[in-house]
Structure 1
């Protein structure tokens, strides 16, 4: 590929000025379509120019959605981890983001169990709908550790309280020992649930409600959505290098 033109160098500097960093993975997209890249700068920079969240929190949100099991985009995880550290994030805080994000797999249960319950009823299988003393105790432990309860958990608890207890202990670690404020924890959950790679509406609603309870504003939650909305650009960051490689094979110069 050719060197950057004057306009492209100006756009690179604009990106750095508005987003606070640069990474090599932007180079080819900038070279191949500078007009698109310029519009992306404007789109992605809105929460950085108008937003209310601390820059460190913004970068931790990027880390969460890139490292999420529904995405696993390592270049972005690394770039935003570096940015978060530069903004003052500690290894403990970044590890806490990973712990919060790692619970995403439980949506297999919160999505699948209601379907299982419906089909069991359709098959004539009677289900216990009253919590046992042990299950009531686990419910109270969940509310104490996690700060909320949702009807999403009721059937899960009724069907297998041993597994529920294990999940309770697993998911509670960053709440029992973590350093991020509760509102920020909920922002992480909102981000990974609302990300276009997941779009899990029940969880998004639950964690918005929790964030509001912890003092979040509508502007802050809207900013989380804005930050997560840029995830679509990874189509270019994954696809453009392949295009460039194929152009080289075909000896296409740009």
Structure 2
């Protein structure tokens, strides 16, 4: 009876999170679409454009915070700070995080052929914008939604669901001229969303630090921004080749294996603790 009550409460929280997240984001981005189509305003890159754009991008973070504050009886700012930054990051966690950061460089260098030193400077200078405009989504997707779905649906299925929902959440961006998403067919983008969902979930599992997920997400956005804008000489387009598919196939295989290994090791440790408590 108690388990059923907890499951119902968890489903209710998930429902409210999705309601808050999609409402905040889609209404904000709808303002841009209306401005573009009916008032010749809020075009991509203009100063005023970034206000509704960034508010919309923060939808998952706002949704996570609202749910955390509503349902956490012991809510304090310090507790939410701990929720974001987690426990002390171990050496192993730093290695996992560093591996994926370096992997991004290999991705744009090997698969997309971008190797100019100025690219790194571009990414570092724009990292704060990538954090606000993309990275902070992780507070909702990996910090709240995926762990709760995993308890109900298991690891693989929960990550797939989050990847699909995450992709659908981005849909209005295809109606805004100039966005990175408008350069990618939605089917390919959804597949990429699922792959990245496995990647960021693995990073969170091993680091237990949402901020490292935020940085990983922001770093990816910076890399893909280089590919779309610099790699295509200023045109908003994404040139796919066989190297790109190979790189992302390797990424999803590694991420899934890491996730399965983590869950298996955690299950063994939990069973050992139960055995010790019985003794």
Q: Quickly name the TM-score band, shorter chain normalised.
A: under 0.3
Specify which structure has the higher proportion of helix.
2
If the length of structure 2 is used for normalisation, what is the TM-score?
Answer: 0.26
If the length of structure 1 is used for normalisation, what is the TM-score?
Answer: 0.28
Q: Which of the two has higher C-alpha Rg?
A: 1
